[in-house]
Chain A
Amino acid sequence: QLVESGGGLVQPGGSLRLSCPASGFRFAGHVMAWVRQAPGKGLQWVSGISGGSEDKFYADSVKGRFTISRDNSKNTVYLQMNRLRAEDTAIYYCAKDSSRVGMFNDFDLWGQGTLVTVSS
Chain B
Amino acid sequence: SYVLTQPPSVSVAPGMTARITCAGDNIGRKPVHWYRQRPGQAPVVVIYYDTDRPSGVPERYSGSNSGNTATLTISRVEAGDEADYYCHVWDSGSDQYVFGTGTKVTVL
Closest to B98 in A: A45
Cα-based distance from A7 to B95 in the complex (angstroms): 27
Cα distance A43–B100 in the bound complex, in angstroms: 8
Q: Mark B33-53, 1 if CB is under 8 A from A, else 0.
A: 101010000111100110000
Interface residue ranges of A93-112 to B (CB < 8 Å):
93, 98, 100-101, 104-108, 110-112
Decide: B42 and A111 in contact? CB cutoff 8 A: yes
* Contact call A57/B96, Cβ cutoff below 8 A: yes
A:49-68 near B, CB below 8 Å: 57-60
- Across chains A and B, the number of contacting residue pairs, with CB separation under 8 Å, is 63
Interface size on A, residues (CB 8 A): 24
Q: Is B7 interfacial (CB 8 A cutoff)?
A: no
> Do the beta carbons of A105 and B86 come within 8 Å of each other?
no
Known: A33-B97, A42-B100, A60-B1. 12 other contacts (CB 8 A): A35-B99, A42-B102, A45-B99, A48-B97, A59-B96, A100-B48, A105-B31, A106-B33, A106-B45, A106-B88, A107-B43, A110-B43
- Can you pick out 20 interface pairs between chain A and chain B where the beta carbons lie within 8 Å of each other? A35-B99, A43-B37, A43-B43, A43-B86, A45-B96, A45-B97, A45-B99, A57-B95, A59-B96, A93-B43, A98-B48, A100-B49, A105-B48, A105-B90, A106-B33, A106-B49, A110-B43, A110-B44, A111-B42, A113-B42
Q: Which B positions have Cβ atoms within 8 angstroms of A?
A: 1, 31, 33, 35, 37, 42-45, 48-49, 54, 84, 86, 88, 90, 92, 95-102
Where the two chains meet, the residues of A that have a C-beta atom closer than 8 Å to any C-beta of B are 33, 35, 42-45, 48, 57-60, 93, 98, 100-101, 104-108, 110-113
Interface pairs A-B: 9 shortest CB-CB:
A104-B90, A106-B33, A42-B102, A106-B48, A110-B42, A45-B97, A43-B99, A106-B45, A57-B95
